[in-house]
């Protein structure tokens, strides 16, 4: 049975640096579970790890998709499971690392995600509505998803309504997979005020590293304005600033606000998972991981409906 380590937490919590230290010590490779890091050309604004920072640890599912493409949790599930098998063939330990809860749930839940086809008629009805209106509709269809979704992202709101309307979101179409994982969930978090300061410090570092130039490049590549909203509110705000629609002050303050609320949404999602072992030090993580790897009786985490 496959042993799988999941390191999760909100943005700027320190999960990446922890994963490198643990992967080095326990002979591992990393599979990214970040819905922005999958895209090319978003290196700075999605905090893609640099080659130097990897310290030789191999990373998967990073910067492989064109920004104009879409990518579902079901597609992530399929690719991640393939990567796990490849990692195990190399006698390495797979680590899933990221903050996209929907990806992590898709990976660890023992089910096949049924792909809901686009509903053109429904989309036409929804496209003229504001994000607030879309959120109200989603709350009626799926209150749990509405609680953690990016409320400023029309595409994601419409897609969530589309899936909920088809009654296929983790409920009507659950099928057994021939995959069982013995999973250790390690959650990384910080006190709210510390996390808030670290989010701002990282945003400042993004700016110093050329975040606005990164967005300029995306504009030159022909990325449509609508897509910037889907890449994250800070990308949309940077686009708006570069197009002289807002001031730098507004761009800066609203970006920090959006990143902080994104971290809060991530924590809301993770709180649903009672299997997560929240840690505050690297030593705690090492101790838990050693016990997990040496355990003789595996614990299979699977959907309660199976």
pLDDT tens across 175-215, in order?
A: 334 467 899 999 998 999 999 999 999 999 999 999 999 99
Q: Is the pLDDT of residue 113 over 80?
A: no
Q: What average pLDDT does the segment 127-147 reach?
A: 82
Written as six digits, the tokens of 231 are: 């890449």
pTM attached to this predicted model: 0.80
pLDDT score of 249: 98
- The confidence score (pLDDT) of residue 108 equals 82
Q: How confident is the model at residue 167 (pLDDT cuts 50, 70, 90)?
A: low
Residues 216 and 228: their CA atoms lie apart, in Å, by: 12
The per-residue pLDDT for 177 is: 44
- State the Cα–Cα distance between residues 258 and 253, nearest whole angstrom: 9
Question: DSSP label at 44?
Answer: T
**At 281, is the secondary structure helix, strand, or coil?**
coil
CA 90 from chain center: how many Å?
A: 26
Contact 187, 279 (CB under 8 A): yes
32's tokens: 């990214």
């Amino acid at each position: 049975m496959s042993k799988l380590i999941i390191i999760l937490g909100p943005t700027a919590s320190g999960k990446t640096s922890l994963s490198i230290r643990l992967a080095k010590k326990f002979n591992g490779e990393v599979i990214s579970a970040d819905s922005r890091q999958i895209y090319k050309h978003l290196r700075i604004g999605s905090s893609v790890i640099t080659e130097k920072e990897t310290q030789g640890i191999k990373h998967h599912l990073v910067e492989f998709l064109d920004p104009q493409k879409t990518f579902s949790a079901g597609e992530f599930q399929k690719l991640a499971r393939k990567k796990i098998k490849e990692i195990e063939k190399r006698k390495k330990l797979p680590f899933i690392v990221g903050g996209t809860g929907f990806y992590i749930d898709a990976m660890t839940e023992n089910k096949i995600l049924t792909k809901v086809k686009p509903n053109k008629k429904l989309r036409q009805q929804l496209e003229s509505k504001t994000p607030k209106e879309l959120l109200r509709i989603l709350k009626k269809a799926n209150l749990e998803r509405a609680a953690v979704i990016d409320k400023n992202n029309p595409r994601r709101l419409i897609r969530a309504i589309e899936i909920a309307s088809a009654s296929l979101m983790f409920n009507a179409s659950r099928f057994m997979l021939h995959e069982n994982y013995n999973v250790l969930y390690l959650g990384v978090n910080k006190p709210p005020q510390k996390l808030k300061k670290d989010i701002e410090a990282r945003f400042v570092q993004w700016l110093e590293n050329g975040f606005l130039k990164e967005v300029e490049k995306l504009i030159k590549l022909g990325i449509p304005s609508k897509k910037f909203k889907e890449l994250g509110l800070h990308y949309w705000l940077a686009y708006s600033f570069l197009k002289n629609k807002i001031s730098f002050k507004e761009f800066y303050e609203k970006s920090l606000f959006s990143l902080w609320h994104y971290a809060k949404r991530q924590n809301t999602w993770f709180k649903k998972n009672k299997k997560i072992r929240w840690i505050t030090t690297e030593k705690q993580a090492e101790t838990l991981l050693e016990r997990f790897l040496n355990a003789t009786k595996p614990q299979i985490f699977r959907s309660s409906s199976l």
